[in-house]
């Protein structure tokens, strides 16, 4: 973390003004850095009172790269896309609001270029509920990892906590509570985020059937999620892929927006991803030039409770795994969440999966052990990936930094093979 003086120098101010907040005020304003690439970054700010903001981005040695003004929209959210950045560089983003509030700066790191072979560190997890019942030191532990990027696999916020909102304003309030939560701020101000929604942003286990029953309410929830996690260019497509240097390409799946009802009979027609996303996934992974292809799916490939996850969509899942095995694509790793326990799992054709979460929600009872389950632990947890040419080191860490898994795999070892 940079000191206040370092931050002041970096911003060309010499010092930070006295009204600068040590942390964003819960309920008043909060901010996040999203969708960082090698040359640009989205800075997203919510304020209860401001009408306009200015974001200043500088290098840590004091060179101001630019200042971007923005209006806060109807939802109180302003977004800027800071461009012209250098790859693999640490930046400071300072946010000034026209209500006089100067928010806590963000420190973030741009992605290395696609041909840059340096080692990188990513993290991932899910499930953020500010209820004090789930208190633990996990956010301090997560911040201490100093990952360049955090991939959020959903349930942030638990917008369906009772009473389930039935208005746009009601859903917005849930995001204010979960994004502005004081405990997150030291971590969120030192990392950039890529995010996908899962179910609780809308309602528990939502699918095509629940959507059809209450389209207006589901629509409110999705509109508000899109406000709080805006995408570059406003594309309606939530699934995405991005590079993080020579050795990493990430694929973040949308396992909710296109899925058939989970209770439908499994079969050739039943889909979680929809045909377009499924084709995109297989083609993109098999053609990727990165050493490792990290496939993030908000729900696990198998071995969880019920059929809300890929266990209810086995024909589609197996078709994807078959295609990856037929292509013999090296370096494929599945990273998941949702079930509220850590698990290391092996699937069809040797596909490897690591499941983490919750960050802040109840760990759940473990179901019966199955042959593909290599290790499990029901506790607060997250994952850390250290990726270099020789391998990807996968760690799963508990709330105090206790090690649940620590193993390194070469790209050859992460090749799906038909047995
Ligand atoms: Fe959850």
Residue-range domain boundaries for the chain: 4-109, 120-414
pLDDT at 419: 76
CA 309–ligand 1 middle distance (angstroms):
12
pLDDT at 13: 44
Q: Dihedral, CA atoms, 37, 401, 197, 23, nearest 10 degrees?
A: -70
Burial level of 191, CB count in 10 A (0-12/13-18/19+)? Answer: buried
Other Cβ atoms less than 10 A from the Cβ of 269: the count is: 10
CA 119–ligand 1 middle distance (angstroms):
31
Give the tens place of pLDDT for each residue, 299-355: 999 999 999 999 999 999 999 999 999 999 999 999 999 999 999 999 999 999 999
Element spanning 225, H or E: helix 215-228
pLDDT at 24: 58
Phi-psi group of 32: left, alpha or beta (phi > 0 → left; psi -120 to 50 → alpha; rest → beta):
beta
pLDDT at 326: 98
- The second-level CATH assignment, the architecture, of 120-414 is 4-Layer Sandwich (3.60)
Cα atoms found within 13 Å of the Cα of residue 29, Cβ hemisphere only: 26
CA 363–ligand 1 middle distance (angstroms):
9
CA 371–ligand 1 middle distance (angstroms):
25
As a whole number of angstroms, the distance between CA 243 and CA 290 comes to 8
As a whole number of angstroms, the distance between CA 43 and CA 137 comes to 27
As a whole number of angstroms, the distance between CA 308 and CA 310 comes to 7
- Which tokens is 259 given? 């899925």
CA 189–ligand 1 middle distance (angstroms):
23
What residues in the chain have per-residue pLDDT under 50? 1, 3-5, 9, 12-23
CA 126–ligand 1 middle distance (angstroms):
7
Q: Dihedral, CA atoms, 69, 73, 77, 79, nearest 10 degrees?
A: -40
Alpha-carbon torsion 146, 148, 153, 156, what sign?
Answer: positive
Residues at Cβ < 5 Å from ligand 1 ion? 127, 155
Q: Write down how long the chain is.
A: 419
Question: Cβ contacts of residue 282 below 8 Å, gap of 6+?
Answer: 320, 323, 324, 327
Whole-number percent of the chain with pLDDT over 70: 94
**Which residue's entry shows tokens 């000191």?**
3
**Which residue's entry shows tokens 């508990």?**
398
CA 336–ligand 1 middle distance (angstroms):
12
Give the tens place of pLDDT for each residue, 153-167: 999 999 999 999 999
Of 56, 54, 55, 59, residue with least CA distance to 10: 59
> Which phi and psi angles does 132 have, rounded to 5°?
-60, -15
pLDDT at 101: 85
CA distances from 263 to 11, 96, 293, 338, 418 (A): 54, 49, 31, 18, 30
- Which tokens is 379 given? 């506790």
CA 202–ligand 1 middle distance (angstroms):
12
pLDDT at 75: 97
CA 362–ligand 1 middle distance (angstroms):
8
To the nearest 10 degrees (0 to 180), the angle between helices 314-327 and 275-287 is 20
CA 106–ligand 1 middle distance (angstroms):
27
The pLDDT mean for the chain works out to 94
> Which phi and psi angles does 264 have, rounded to 5°?
-60, 150
CA distances from 124 to 3, 120, 164, 244 (A): 26, 14, 27, 14
Residue ranges in 49-121 assigned as alpha helix (H): none
The residues that bridge with 71 in the sheet, in sequence order, are: 52
Q: Which CATH superfamily does the domain covering 4-109 fall into?
A: Immunoglobulins (2.60.40.10)
pLDDT at 20: 41
**Which residue's entry shows tokens 């630019």?**
66
Work out the angle at residue 395's Cα, subtended by the Cα atoms of residues 390 and 398, and round it to the nearest 5 degrees. 170
Other Cβ atoms less than 10 A from the Cβ of 268: the count is: 8
Residue 90 contacts residue 78 (beta carbons within 8 Å)? no
Please tell me whether residue 106 adopts helix, strand or coil conformation: strand
């Amino acid at each position: 973390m940079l000191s206040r003086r370092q931050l002041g120098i970096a911003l060309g101010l010499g010092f930070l003004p006295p009204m600068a907040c040590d942390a964003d005020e819960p309920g008043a304003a909060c901010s996040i850095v999203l969708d960082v690439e090698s040359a640009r970054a989205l800075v997203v700010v919510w304020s209860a009172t401001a009408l306009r903001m200015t974001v200043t981005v500088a290098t840590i040695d004091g060179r101001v790269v630019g200042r971007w003004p923005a209006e806060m929209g109807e939802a109180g959210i302003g977004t800027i896309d800071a461009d012209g950045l250098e790859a693999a560089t640490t930046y400071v983003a300072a946010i000034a609001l026209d209500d006089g509030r100067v928010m806590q700066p963000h420190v973030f790191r741009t992605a290395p270029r696609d041909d840059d072979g340096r080692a990188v560190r990513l993290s991932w997890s899910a499930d953020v509920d500010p209820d004090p019942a789930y208190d633990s030191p996990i956010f301090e532990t997560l911040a201490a990892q100093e990952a360049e990027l955090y991939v959020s696999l959903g349930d942030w916020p638990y917008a369906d906590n009772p009473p389930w909102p039935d208005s746009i304003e009601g859903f917005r309030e849930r995001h204010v509570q979960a994004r502005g939560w004081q405990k997150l701020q030291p971590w969120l101000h030192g990392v950039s985020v890529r995010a996908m929604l899962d179910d609780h942003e809308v309602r528990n286990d939502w699918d095509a059937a629940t959507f059809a029953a209450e389209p207006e309410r589901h629509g409110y929830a999705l509109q508000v999620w899109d406000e709080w996690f805006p995408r570059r260019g406003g594309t309606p497509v939530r699934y995405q892929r991005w590079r993080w240097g020579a050795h990493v390409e990430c694929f973040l799946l949308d396992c909710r927006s296109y899925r058939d009802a989970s209770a439908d009979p499994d079969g050739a027609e039943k889909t979680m991803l929809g045909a377009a996303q499924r084709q995109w996934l297989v083609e993109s992974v098999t053609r990727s030039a990165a050493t490792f292809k990290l496939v993030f799916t908000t729900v696990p490939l198998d071995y969880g409770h019920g059929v809300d996850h890929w266990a209810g969509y086995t024909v589609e899942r197996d078709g994807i795994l078959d295609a990856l095995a037929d292509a013999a694509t090296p370096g494929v790793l599945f990273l998941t969440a949702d079930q509220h326990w850590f698990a290391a799992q092996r699937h069809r054709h040797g596909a490897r999966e690591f499941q983490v979460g919750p960050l802040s929600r109840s760990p759940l009872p473990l179901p019966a052990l199955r042959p593909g389950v290599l290790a499990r632990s029901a506790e607060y947890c997250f994952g850390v990936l250290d990726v270099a040419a020789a391998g990807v080191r996968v760690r799963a860490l508990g709330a105090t930094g206790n090690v649940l898994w620590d193993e390194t795999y070469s790209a050859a070892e992460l090749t799906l093979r038909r047995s």
